[in-house]
Amino acid sequence: MSFNAFELCSGCLKQLGKVMILVVVAFVVLTAAAMLNAYGPCLGHERVGKAFGCFLGLLVFFSLVCMLLWSYFAAFLTEPGRVPAGWSPFSSEEEAQLEAERAEARSPEQGKGVAGSGRLRYCRKCHGWKPERTHHDSMAGRCVLKMDHYCVWIANTVGLCNYKAFLLFLFYTFWACLLAACMLLGEVVSFFRGLDTVSPEQSSRFALTLLAFIVDIAFALSLGGLLGMHARMVWLNVTTIEMFEKRRVTQWPFDRGPRRNFQEVFGASAWRWWLPTHTRQEQERMLDAALAAQPFEEAMGTEFANL
Ligand SMILES: [Zn+2]
């Protein structure tokens, strides 16, 4: 029996993904409990202004939590973008079959291509043609349209259909963590100021606040960096994989300007930008664009990509 380190790593990542779902839910429960613990009693405060301030803070926080959970499960449950069975860039099935046989006969090292280079792309693992910006996803064992990366946090591959949900998950989680950290900061400071007069019961309640505060700070910092990186990629219309491939392409053909690049991911309707879903019309348009005939004609029969 041969040992395959890659398969072992893929298996580990899949199992880790299942654990990560529990980690995300546990993190949300922890922060929500800490916020209710710190600000729940304040809702009945005799000063109406203070009670209203606490209510407003909790309302915004729990609204962000609802949106982050919706985005999370949308990213987790949405199929990232499958290449339709039998798809090919050729006008006839016979031609596609003939060229596929030629592509299979070539060595794997020969003719490796990148998105945006206008070269024909054939997947040796799926034994089928794939549109530009499509990559083979080893975790799921199939090609994914506009594949970005496999995300262990959502236990799914991020691709054409769930990239918006993934970005909104990052966005809402970042703001929920930042808001919670800012609101819990006051509790942390006042606890340490009155350390001499703290009762054991207060200490045990504070442990929850402190733990949530530290976790929120850590998440806000790391998600802020990740959001910044993805904002730049949306601006330029590149995926994480293409960030590396793009260096090998002199002129990036998918960059249509920041506004259109943004709309390609989030849609044209401003109020729907905030929702982790696509309308049927948007889905069809995205799929059509992803499968649209590329400038393959000039490369046809000369070069093949076997990524
Ligand atoms: Zn494939």
Residues of the chain with pLDDT under 70: 1-8, 107-118, 246-250, 293-307
Looking at this protein, which amino acid is placed at residue 176?
A
Helix (H, G, I), strand (E, B) or coil at 121: strand
Q: What is the pLDDT of residue 7?
A: 65
- Which residues have CB under 8 Å from 119's CB, separation 6+? 111, 113, 296, 299, 303, 304, 305
pLDDT score, position 91 = 81
What pLDDT is recorded for position 71? 97
**Distance in Å, CA 117 to ligand 1 centroid:** 19
Residue 126 is a catalytic residue: no
- Residues 67/288/230/234 CA torsion (nearest 10 deg): -110
Q: What's residue 300's pLDDT? A: 35
Q: In what order do the strands lie in the sheet with 304-305?
A: 128-129, 120-123, 304-305
Query: E-assigned strands of the chain?
Result: 120-123, 128-129, 135-137, 142-144, 149-151, 156-158, 304-305
Angle at 44 between CA 40 and CA 50, to 5 degrees: 85
pLDDT of residue 304: 38
Residue 169 and residue 30: Cα distance in Å, rounded?
A: 18
SS3 assignment, position 169: helix
Options 54, 123, 143, 151, the catalytic residue: 151
pLDDT, position 299:
36
Q: Is 306:110 a contact under the CB 8 Å cutoff? A: yes
* The predicted structure's pLDDT at residue 74: 97
Using CB atoms within 10 A of its CB, is residue 21 exposed (0-12), middle (13-18) or buried (19+)?
Answer: middle
Which phi and psi angles does 292 have, rounded to 5°? -55, 150
**Adjacent-strand bridge partners of 136:** 143
Neighbours of ion ligand 1 (CB under 5 A): 123, 125-126, 136, 143
Instruction: Give CA–CA dist 295/175, Å, rounded.
Output: 41
Instruction: Give me 176's structure tokens.
Output: 């929920």
Question: What distance in angstroms lies between residue 168's CA and the mean position of ligand 1's atoms?
Answer: 27
pLDDT at 79: 94
Q: What is the pLDDT of residue 297?
A: 38
The alpha carbon of 137 and the centre of ligand 1 are apart by a number of angstroms equal to 7
Ligand 1 centroid distance, CA of 20 (Å): 26
CA 262 / ligand 1 centre spacing (Å): 27
Q: For residue 246, what pLDDT is reported?
A: 66
- Quick one: pLDDT at residue 122? 87
pLDDT per residue as tens digits for the range 210-250: 999 999 999 999 999 999 999 999 999 999 998 887 666 66
- Answer yes or no: are the C-beta atoms of 117 and 204 closer than 8 Å: no
CA–centroid distance, residue 122 to ligand 1 (Å)? 8
